[in-house]
């Protein structure tokens, strides 16, 4: 055969299967375009020098990795579905004399043509939409707009390289699907029904156990740090449980409906249930895939929109004053208190030289030690790396000692505590009894001050580990009890923290300039003294980072949600088209024996409603269960407004349900046109 024969065969096959190939090509173009846009925003340097630009580009760079992984997985799924619908065609080629090498050449040129269309269309669309995406991105993160247009060659090269590798893997997978099947298997592929999976009750039970375990993990998490560690465990368990439960559940549901004679022996229900029984396992797997995609969309959009709309509240919570200074040194030193007083005077003097009118001043020092807190006792004896692998991170806590005189002076209280007593407060859900023991030193809890914690240290609310404030008679004397403790590297566990917060009355630029000057002054004074950390920050300087982070996450959430939604549409479309072709002959026979088009429409509606209500219902249940753990994760960003998260989740569910209903109607019409 001439070499030109295979490209012509490939092009002709793609044209004849346009109903399958056109959506696939559009999806490939969309995947390539979105990858280019994310790479363009993340690596082109358009955000260099802008407030919060570094953080925002980090979000986009993370998005390129997500798009690579998702593009690989979804295009594999779409291509496998497409090849499955054409196995009869390849079987006929084999019977007519083509060998595996000939079929491989046809598949190669089909993949090559698909790659060329995807690259050309995707890059044109990506480059054309990149400026619009840039404008939307800069609007979300509140940075100045660039009025220039550029096409970074690096982004073009990485897009071509990444998706060339993906299409090569797709080509190898298509060879595997066609090359290892006999001609008879290929020809009869569309006639082969599915046998019910053996031990479907066992599969269902395993699904319930896995789903229940995922729900349990999601609901039992109490602390943000634990949520960070266990979130993906919960996600994996829920995904596995969803697949197993829907695969087995589709079988069990069909059998239950069959046994219900009043329901089953109706024209519309009889055909729909029989059709679902014919595709038992595939129905469950397809529904589970749709359910997982819908859940990802709901979780992602609910969380990122909550963060974006709550960015200002998070900023004000984390930075309640215009200027904040911080210094830290590990180990005990009696001169630190006087050093803190000198540093405070130097900073205030420098601030006044910059024209600041100092108000709302809160300057104080504290001692801190961390450990494993349980039953009102802090264990600070962990001294090996192996110990860290077995501790419950829900119970890792930081104890902060503050002198009662400092506490009264700075925060305006008039409290008294006797030696051996303490005022105790925490912003986290930690049980503390009448006596709290730190190391081997007990303190009687004279009073709880949980409602004052945010005033003492706003940052403790967004800390990964719980903070417990202990107000004592003499913090310096108490600190001496903990000089003997060291970590697994031999470094002191006791730390001295100095905090300074105040307002200035300066404008945004003045605050940023003052913070930079004070930061330089602190480093000049403290770095020669071997301080472990010291810095000065301003409310306005951090605004760009907050908006960049939350805006970047929201923009990424929008893009990925669009991708996941279109992927969901593709799964539903291919499911309907492939099942339509399978059912076409059956409905043709039924029409010959008296079934009307109206009966067909009712049967299709019955099947569609039974099948496609399941994913959205499960997705809403999944969302409701994982919202608590999502809320804990958002606490790490400083968002504590659970009501905001619930509202954004409700709005996302409403929008997603409307879009899903439209998708259902369009895909059911495609199925109806094929079978009728």
| Domain presence at residue 533 | no
Count up the domains in the chain and report the number. Answer: 3
Residue 388 pLDDT grade (very low, low, confident, very high; cuts 50, 70, 90):
very low
Boundary (domain end) residue, out of 192, 210, 228:
192
CA 252, 258, 264 angle in degrees (round to 5)?
A: 140
Tell me the average pLDDT across 270-294.
65
Q: Is 161's pLDDT higher than 70?
A: yes
**358 burial via Cβ count (<10 Å: 0-12, 13-18, 19+):** middle
Express as a percent the part of the chain with pLDDT over 70.
74
Is 611 within the bounds of a domain?
Answer: yes
Same domain, 176 and 202: no
Q: Is residue 671 domain-shared with residue 605, that is, in the same domain? A: yes
Tokens found for residue 668: 């059911």
* 543, part of any domain: no
User: Per-residue DSSP letters for 52-74?
Assistant: THHHHHHHHHHHHHHHHHHHHHH
Q: What is the pLDDT of residue 327?
A: 92
Q: How many CB atoms lie within 10 A of CB 533?
A: 12
Task: Say whether both 44 and 124 belong to one domain.
Answer: yes
Q: Is pLDDT of 264 > 60? A: no
Instruction: Give the chain's mean pLDDT.
Output: 78
- Residue 602 has a pLDDT of 66
Q: What confidence tens digit (pLDDT) does each residue in 35-48 have?
A: 888 888 777 665 55
Q: In this structure, is residue 547 part of a structural domain?
A: no
> What does the pLDDT read at residue 386?
44
3-class DSSP assignment, residue 181 = coil
Query: What pLDDT shows up at residue 367?
Result: 93
Q: Which of 62-76, 272-286, 468-482, 635-649 has maximum average pLDDT? A: 468-482
Burial class (CB in 10 A: 0-12, 13-18, 19+), 88: middle
pTM to 2 decimal places: 0.71
Residue 103 lies in a domain: yes
For residues 188 and 205, state if they share a domain.
Answer: no
Same domain for 300 and 368, yes or no, is no
Would the pLDDT of 401 be above 90? yes
What DSSP element (H or E) covers 33? helix 18-43
Tokens at 249, concatenated: 């559940």
Q: Is 12 helix (H, G, I), strand (E, B) or coil?
A: helix
Which has more pLDDT, 10 or 166? 166
Q: Per the domain annotation, does 442 fall within a domain? A: yes
- pLDDT confidence of 380, banded at 50, 70, 90? confident
Instruction: Give 310's pLDDT tier (boundaries 50, 70, 90).
Output: confident
pLDDT at 581 over 60: yes
CA distance 61 to 84: 35
Judge if 123 and 7 occupy the same domain. Answer: yes
Return the DSSP state at 85: T
382 vs 408, higher pLDDT: 408
Average pLDDT (9-27) is 80
Residue 366: the pLDDT is: 92
Contact yes or no for 638/462 (Cβ under 8 A): yes
Same-domain pairing of 381 and 430: yes
What value does the mean pLDDT take over residues 556-581? 76
**Chosen domain end from 145, 162, 192:** 192
Distances in Å between the alpha carbon of 215 and those of 138, 221, 298, 628?
Answer: 38, 10, 17, 11
pLDDT score at 408: 92
| Mean pLDDT of the 133-147 span | 64
Q: Which of 192, 208, 238 is the last residue of a domain?
A: 192
How does pLDDT run across 421-469, given as a tens digit for each residue?
999 988 777 788 889 999 888 999 998 888 887 778 776 665 656 788 9
- Highest mean pLDDT among 35-49, 169-183, 495-509 belongs to 495-509
Residue 377 gets the label, from left (phi > 0), alpha (psi -120 to 50) or beta, of beta
Nearest Cα residue to 426 out of 363, 478, 482, 378: 378
What stretches of 106-192 adopt beta strand conformation (E)? none
Q: Does residue 104 share a domain with residue 204?
A: no
Most confident of 344-353, 394-403, 593-602, 660-669: 344-353
pLDDT for residue 423: 92
Model confidence pLDDT, tens digit, residues 606-619: 666 666 778 888 88
Per-residue pLDDT band at 385 (split at 50, 70, 90): very low
User: Residue 575 sits in which domain range?
Assistant: 198-314+553-676
The answer on 229 and 184 residing in a single domain is no
Q: Select the more confidently predicted residue: 383 or 164.
A: 164
- Residue range 330-346: mean pLDDT, rounded: 88
Same domain, 272 and 392: no
Facing residues of 259 across strands? Answer: none
Domain annotation covers residue 527:
no
The verdict on residue 540 lying in a domain is no
Assess whether 498 and 565 both reside in one domain. no
Same domain, 148 and 228: no
Burial readout 297-333 (b: 16 or more C-beta within 10 A, e: otherwise): bbbbbbbbbbbbbbbeebbebbbbbbbbbbbbbbebe
């Amino acid at each position: 055969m001439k070499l030109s024969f295979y490209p012509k065969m490939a092009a002709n096959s793609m044209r004849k299967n346009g109903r399958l190939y056109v959506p696939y090509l559009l999806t490939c173009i969309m995947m390539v375009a979105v990858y280019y846009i994310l790479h363009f925003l993340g690596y082109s340097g358009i955000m260099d020098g802008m407030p919060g630009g570094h953080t925002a580009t980090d979000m986009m760079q993370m998005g390129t990795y997500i798009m690579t992984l998702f593009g690989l997985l979804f295009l594999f799924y779409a291509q496998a579905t497409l090849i499955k619908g054409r196995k009869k065609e390849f079987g006929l080629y084999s019977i007519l004399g083509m060998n595996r090498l000939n079929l491989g050449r046809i598949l190669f040129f089909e993949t090559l043509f698909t790659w060329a269309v995807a690259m050309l269309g995707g890059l044109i669309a990506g480059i054309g939409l990149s400026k619009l995406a840039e404008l939307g991105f800069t609007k979300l993160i509140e940075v100045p707009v660039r009025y220039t247009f550029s096409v970074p060659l690096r982004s073009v090269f990485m897009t071509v390289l990444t998706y060339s590798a993906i299409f090569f893997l797709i080509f190898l997978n298509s060879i595997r699907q066609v090359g290892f099947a006999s001609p008879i298997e290929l020809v009869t592929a569309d006639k082969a029904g599915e046998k019910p999976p053996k031990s479907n009750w066992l599969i269902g039970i395993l699904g319930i156990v896995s789903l229940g375990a995922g729900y349990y993990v999601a609901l039992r998490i109490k602390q943000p740090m634990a949520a960070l560690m266990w979130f993906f465990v919960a996600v994996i368990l829920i995904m596995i449980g969803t697949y197993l439960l829907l695969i087995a559940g589709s079988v069990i549901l069909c059998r239950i409906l069959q046994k219900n004679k009043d329901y089953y022996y109706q024209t519309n229900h009889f055909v729909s249930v029989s059709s679902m029984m014919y595709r038992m396992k595939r129905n469950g797997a397809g529904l589970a895939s749709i359910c997982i995609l819908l859940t990802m969309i709901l979780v992602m959009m609910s969380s990122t929109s909550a963060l974006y709309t709550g960015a200002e509240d998070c900023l004000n919570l984390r930075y309640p004053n215009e200027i904040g200074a911080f210094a830290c040194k590990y180990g005990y030193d009696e001169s630190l208190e006087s050093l803190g007083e000198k540093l405070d005077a130097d900073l205030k003097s420098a601030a006044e030289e910059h024209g600041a009118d100092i108000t709302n001043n809160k300057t104080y020092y504290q001692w801190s030690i961390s450990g494993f807190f349980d039953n009102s006792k802090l264990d600070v004896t962990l001294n090996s790396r192996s110990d860290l692998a077995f501790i419950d991170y829900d119970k890792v806590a930081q104890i902060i000692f503050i002198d009662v005189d400092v506490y009264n002076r700075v925060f305006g209280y008039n409290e008294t505590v006797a030696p051996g007593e303490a005022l105790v407060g925490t912003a986290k859900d930690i049980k503390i009894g009448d006596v709290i023991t730190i190391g081997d030193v007990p303190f009687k809890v004279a009073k709880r001050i949980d409602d004052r914690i945010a005033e003492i240290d706003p940052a403790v609310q967004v800390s990964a580990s719980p903070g417990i404030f202990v107000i004592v008679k003499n913090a310096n004397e108490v600190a001496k009890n903990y000089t003997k403790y060291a970590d697994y590297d031999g470094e002191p566990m006791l730390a001295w923290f100095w905090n300074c917060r105040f307002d200035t009355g300066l404008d945004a630029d003045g605050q940023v300039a003052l913070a930079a000057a004070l930061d330089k002054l602190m480093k000049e004074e403290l770095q020669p003294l071997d301080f472990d950390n010291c810095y000065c920050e301003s409310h306005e300087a951090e605004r760009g980072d907050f908006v960049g982070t939350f805006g970047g996450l929201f923009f990424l959430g929008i893009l990925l949600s669009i991708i996941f939604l279109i992927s969901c549409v593709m799964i539903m479309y291919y499911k309907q088209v492939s099942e339509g072709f399978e059912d076409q002959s059956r409905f043709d026979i039924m029409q010959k024996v008296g079934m009307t088009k109206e009966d067909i429409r009712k049967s299709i509606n019955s099947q569609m409603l039974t099948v496609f209500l399941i994913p959205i219902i499960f997705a809403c249940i999944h969302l409701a269960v994982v919202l608590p753990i999502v809320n804990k994760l958002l606490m790490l960003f400083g968002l504590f407004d659970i009501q905001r998260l619930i509202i954004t989740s409700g709005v996302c569910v409403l929008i997603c349900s409307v879009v899903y209903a439209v998708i259902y109607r369009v895909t059911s019409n495609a199925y109806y046109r094929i079978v009728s």
